[in-house]
Chain A
Amino acid sequence: MSQRYIFLLPLVVFCIIAIYFAVGLTKDPSKLDDDVLTNQPMGDFTLIPVEGRSETLSIDDLKGKVSLVNFFGSWCVACLQEHPFFMELKESADVPLYGVDWDEKNPKDVVRWLKRHGDPYTKIGVDVSGATIIDWGITGAPETFVVDKTGTIRYKHIGPVSPASWQSTIWPLIVELRKE
């Protein structure tokens, strides 16, 4: 009886392997399975101002209002992709957008970048040592967080923020968090 169906064995083996590949190869390796920072209050940080400016960025800025925190750099190509949308948001949405600039080779680079493309940020802090980006579990740029009134991360968005992801996820969440 079992020998009659033995010819099906390679097909069965193939199917099993195909299922593993289908799951494994469609996973985005840059996305981490466990989002350990969501719903965690963030620790203290104080970042230095962009060269030529005086405003620093600290954890206290994030408290009291639902806000967005965007990790970017003038070296980051994908950041330019979301940049025009952030410029639009500055006009249309009443949400503070804090920028954390990191990994600049030259501190003047970000000054030039902001001059050239515009500055959509409410405030910008520069992370020179990398301590803050590691504390926020950053793996690249851009990454954008929705932070609630207590300074707790509620959502992490990896990659450029698109109008679609804004409409479907980020904005509804902000509206929700404002009610808390």
Chain B
Amino acid sequence: MKHFIFTLIALVMLSVSVGAVEPDEILKDAALEARARIISKDVRCVVCQNQSIDDSDSGIARKMRILVRDRITKGDTNQQVLDYLVSRYGDFVLLKPPVKAKTAALWFGPAIMLLLGLVGIIFYYRRRAKETAETTGAAPLSADEKSRLDALMKEEGSET
């Protein structure tokens, strides 16, 4: 029983997710295979919109996985592989779009919108505070007025 539980735990801990990678694609060199997996997770399957080639079982994703492995086996760095794919398919092939002039709106747009919103809120409250000050005259109550107000408030309270 002890052995069984140990084996079970070992199996769970040793298992890695393999995505759509088929057994015949896996490289013998574990380090290279690990790199291939990292690259593959960043590369979009060009026929399935929002899946990486690591997740997709489409034919072209398989071809791209094999190409990635082929290139790193031949000595390409991760960046070289990605650069090659971008030179063939454009930035579209990367799941995470790079920061550049063309994608600036995408990367900085949300922050700018948030900032504009905050500025808007500040202006709104400032204006409202000013408007209420104007309509009410904004003069603080004198001591006399204050005691009269207190008296009135007490009166109201006792009636109910």
Contacts and interface: CB of A to CB of B under 8 A. Distances in A.
A and B: partners?
yes
Given A139-B47, A139-B60, A140-B47, A130 B88 contact: no
Interface stretch (B17-25, B27-35, B63-71, B133-141): B63-71
Nearest to A35: B90
Main secondary structure of the interface of B (DSSP, over half): helix
Contact of B91 (A30, A34, A133): A34
A85 interface: no
Given A32-B89, A34-B91, A34-B92, A134 B49 contact: no
Interface residues of A, number: 20
A140 B61 CA distance: 12
A60 interface: no
Given A139-B46, A139-B60, A32 B92 contact: yes
B63 A37 contact: no
Contact of A134 (B47, B63, B86): B63
Interface string A22-34: 0000000110111
Nearest to A37: B88
Contact of B88 (A33, A103, A129, A137): A137
Given A29-B49, A139-B60, A134 B67 contact: yes
Contacts of A121: none
B87 A36 contact: yes
Given A134-B63, A137-B90, A138-B60, 16 more contacts: A29-B49, A30-B47, A34-B90, A34-B91, A36-B88, A103-B59, A103-B60, A129-B63, A130-B62, A130-B66, A134-B67, A134-B88, A135-B88, A136-B88, A140-B47, A140-B60
Interface of B: 46-47, 49, 59-60, 62-64, 66-67, 70, 85-92
